[in-house]
Amino acid sequence: MIKLGEVQELRINKFTAAGAYLNVDESKEGDILLPRTELPKGLKVGDKIKVMVYNDPKGRRIATTKMPKAQVGELAYLTVVDQTKFGYFLDWGLDKDLFLPFSETIGSIEKGKSYLVGIYVDKSHRICATMKIKDMLRTDSPYKKDDKVKGTIYSINRDIGAFVAVDNKYEGLIPKKELLGVYQVGDTIEARVSRVKEDGKLDLSLRDKNHVQIDKDKETILESLKANNGFLPLNDDSPPEIIRKQLNMSKSGFKRAIGRLYKEGIILIENDGIKLK
């Protein structure tokens, strides 16, 4: 069976002035044209050739020896080259650009920028792109707890957290409580695996392990104190969102860090805030 949107080896059944007609062994499907301009020299009937099968501008299946940046079932960063009233077109390395319907986008899209998309075949047998890649991500990652990973944020739910394509391949989540700072779809992040769930999905943290993170948080607080004449109007009773906004850390992280600074005799904790000794 000839596979639309995939790289495969096909057999040369015949040559014409237009090019070579290809098919799989003993297939009853109609042959697919490999245009003469792409036909390597020296081939004969019966030889096999590696091609990509896609749709030409008229919707007909056609073969090419050019290799795409990704094929059906895969994810890739592709650049937006055009916009129409139905959606966008992406450069995926072939003569015909890849269609991204409006219904398959997340967030704002700009011409000239690259986005992480998955490639699929729609109900009309067209090869298309989608930014809704959750169902295309795998859950068999090699990562363990506390491993460092890189990934791309592909969706954000303010009640749940940020969904991440780890290595642009595996499914991960930065829970809401761990989502410090301002992020948007398309951002590339580095994180630590905080938990590998039973189903293989990864929980991620943007913070290091506690003993490492405390040192980093202490340094952040000290720098902020020095920049504000040795005083910050923050303490154990400060709302989490105020601490997050001013220091880009969680309230629990803030409390651990000032507790350590207090024990080390570096700061004083007062009713209206903290200050350097």
pLDDT one-digit tens code per residue, 215-261: 888 889 999 999 999 999 998 888 888 888 888 888 878 888 888 88
Reply yes or no on whether the pLDDT at 186 is more than 90.
Answer: no
CA pair distance 122, 139, nearest whole angstrom: 24
Looking at residue 107, its pLDDT comes to: 84
Looking at residue 255, its pLDDT comes to: 86
Looking at residue 63, its pLDDT comes to: 96
142 and 184 in a single domain? The answer is yes
Looking at the domain assignment, is residue 109 inside a domain?
A: yes
Residue 210 confidence class, pLDDT cut points 50, 70, 90: low
Per-residue pLDDT reduced to its tens digit, 248-271: 888 878 888 888 888 889 989 988
151 and 112 in a single domain? The answer is no
- What's the predicted TM-score (pTM) here? 0.71
CA pair distance 219, 227, nearest whole angstrom: 12
Looking at residue 27, its pLDDT comes to: 65
Domain boundary among 205, 235, 253: 205
Looking at the domain assignment, is residue 70 inside a domain?
A: no
Per-residue pLDDT reduced to its tens digit, 139-155: 999 999 989 999 999 99
Looking at residue 208, its pLDDT comes to: 65
Domain span at residue 111 reads: 75-134
Give the count of domains, the chain: 4
**Mean pLDDT of all residues in 53-77:** 93
Looking at the domain assignment, is residue 69 inside a domain?
A: no
